[in-house]
Structure 1
């Protein structure tokens, strides 16, 4: 079935119907002990005033959507790992955005991944993707992971590459596509942040010359780049805390210790599986590395496979205002982290309305309208873009 036949938007009337149905069946209890649903810790402010949430399907029929961004006019832009951009317009209609993916390398965990709109999108119609690329569209030899800059037409019908690549040379695992990263976000000072994976190569994360296993700072106008932090295994999420300058990275651990890290310029986050092999039995943070920075949050055992992250803001969210929300793939839900002003962990719980009901969650974004937008990652053309908002 062609993509345009599969991606269906849910119109305003259907959304209203879904919200009425959800109002009757949604569990309004608040999440609880670390990394699991249930009652919150004693004394938690979230226990008394957390809002009940309504969840509605905005569009469906996607296959492994990786990221979502929202334009100032409310249009939602979604990408899929195997290639393709889709726009969901403010009136609810769904439009395929024509774009050239002839050189896309999509294998395993790598493909079309992170997505971010330029802060001046309203004026320049510019956005950025992070994706695996081949040498050209005729060979099967992957070259790298690249950040590409695009402009999109006013009617969202097509996108054109304008910096191809903006950043190249990020390593890729040519055999499996493993640990390809790759998340994008804008820092408060306007730098484009690029979170990358170590491509399952033991020497990459600690090599300051390699672009894998890092968070990069990139000038979005020129592509000039610098390694900002190193010692990462597989960065899957980046979240900027408004008004603080704090940036948090989310990454996958091996068989334990997924992490959320507060990034510091020049910081080393301690992943060091060895230059002569790839020893995944080592700790996620090797304390033997001078100055290795411990995680703000760690999953312990079992891992949850955290992915995209966003800070939640707005009085309508009640006790959820200010939380860092993290999408969970293996954990199949959304993890909520309450942090103090310095970025230290105060409390963690899971959002009950999303717990195990929609399968794997890849990305979570607070949109310009204050609502949350989530992409599922279950495959088989069965994935959806969800809208989550406090029940009124």
Structure 2
């Protein structure tokens, strides 16, 4: 059954009583500094008359609208300059939602898609020059020559949003996949401020891969979006191994989120932990993020810490869930004065303890405060990807399966 459109005028906003209750319980579990949700009763911060102290910015009530429903495991979403939303589904479908609300499945060759378990059609992002080149990028499982792997593929889409055509097939291949289960397939793609394409990969549930610089699994890659070659300035640019030259960082378990902080150039990565320790990390070129589950006899040991303190130079997390995990996923920053006290907050999709986690960071990327968005708490199920659109609205994909998923639009109410 094709997805159906819900007009934005038919949205709903969580009631004030529920919001007030959740505000009191807003601080989630995890490491680092906690904090309560900013109160909504105060006005936007501004200099007060007669030298009085400025008021604290208000955290706005949020309006949540369903843009599209009837989806099945939608993974990522991007907003084009003309206002069209492009959303993909893990099982193999690309849908455009036009500015007038019309939903249109794109004609796209996905006949070689490897979709099993956690792997399928996953990360999606538009070219920074999309208005001129009509290019977008996917990260997906691919059946090839009797085997499977993960590839980054470049596509173009026609101006009428009817057909997607592969133009770099692949832009980058040979990313390992777990062919028996599809577990830990990654696979987020985002552009960094220099114009390089970042690719987050999973370790395929193979214990040796995160610490092995000769494989693309369990890494963040940084590539040229035209050639697929290592991007200029990569930390291992002089390494004799062409695989290693593609790496930005290593020691990752399953990179589910990549978020670029507006105005700073900082890149934050999000990973799901084993028996404990989902993590948000500040990306440092060449750094080791400490996942090393290569147990005795080659066993994939999920009892070890997400960041092994015994590994020299292992970078500690900005935020960690501790025990229990909450299954963190995609992430993006809110930006703009319309968000009041939420301006600048990092939002992370949550799939186990369902909802959206908000993290406030200082200028250096250290955790200041953590809380949950009340309107999204245990209301829409598993949240895969929060994405801020160029229109200032927040777009969310849910990940519940069985054709029960939605594309949501979230805006400040009023």
- The answer to whether TM tops 0.5 is yes
Matched, 1:218 2:210: no
Q: Could you tell me which residue of structure 1 aligns to residue 54 of structure 2?
A: none
Q: Give the CA RMSD over aligned residues.
A: 1.7
Match 1:268 to one of 279, 288, 298: 288
Report how far residue 302 of structure 1 moved: 1.0
Secondary structure of 1:123's counterpart equals helix
Distance 1:324 1:161 in 2: 33
Distance change in 2, residues 1:93/1:25 (3 Å): farther
User: Which consecutive residues of structure 2, in runs of 5 or more, have no partner in the other structure?
Assistant: 43-57, 231-245
Aligned counterpart in structure 2 of residue 54 of structure 1, from 52, 63, 83: 63
- Note if contact 1:132-1:142 (Cα within 8 Å) is conserved in structure 2: no
Asked if structure 2 preserves the Cα contact closer than 8 Å seen for 1:113 and 1:131, the reply is yes
Note closer, same or farther for the CA distance 1:171–1:41 as it changes in structure 2 (3 Å cut): same
Secondary structure of 1:32's aligned partner: coil
Pair member with larger Rg: 2
Q: Does 1:116 align with 2:125?
A: yes
Give the Cα separation in 2 of the matches to 1:43 and 1:101: 43
Deviations 1:277-331 (A, max 9, x none): 2111111111111110000000011111111100000101000000000011112
Give the secondary structure class of the aligned counterpart of 1:109.
coil
Contact 1:46 1:320 in 2 (8 A): no
Match of 1:241 among 261, 265, 275: 261
Match of 2:309 in 1: 287
Q: Which runs of 4+ in 1 moved over 6 A?
A: none
- The answer on 1:345 being equivalent to 2:367 is yes
Pairwise CA distance, 1:10 = 1.6
Change (3 A) 1:341 1:45: farther
Counterparts in 2 of 1:26 and 1:374: CA distance versus 1, 3 Å: farther
- TM-score of the two chains, using structure 2 as the length reference: 0.88
Q: Give, in whole Å, the separation in 1 of the partners of 2:191 and 2:272.
A: 21
- The residue aligned with 2:19 is 27
* 1:42–1:116 CA distance, 2 compared to 1 (3 A): closer
d(CA) in 2 for partners of 1:190, 1:46: 38
Deviations along 1:229-253, one digit per CA (max 9) or x if unpaired, are: 0000000000000111100000010
Quote the residue 1:90 is aligned against: 99
Q: Residues of 1 paired with 2:41 and 2:273: CA distance?
A: 30
2:224 matches 1:228: no
- Aligned residue for 1:8? 4
Q: Does 1:104 align with 2:104?
A: no
Q: Which digits, 9 at most, give the CA deviation of each residue in 1:344-375, with x for residues without a partner?
A: 00000000000000000000001111010000
**Structure 2: distance between partners of 1:46 and 1:264:** 36
| Structure 2 match to 1:129 | 138
How many Å apart are 1:26 and its aligned residue?
A: 5.9
TM-score norm. by structure 1 comes to 0.93
Q: Which aligned pairs between 1:372-383 and structure 2 lie closer than 5 A?
A: 372-383=394-405
Structure 2: distance between partners of 1:24 and 1:252: 32
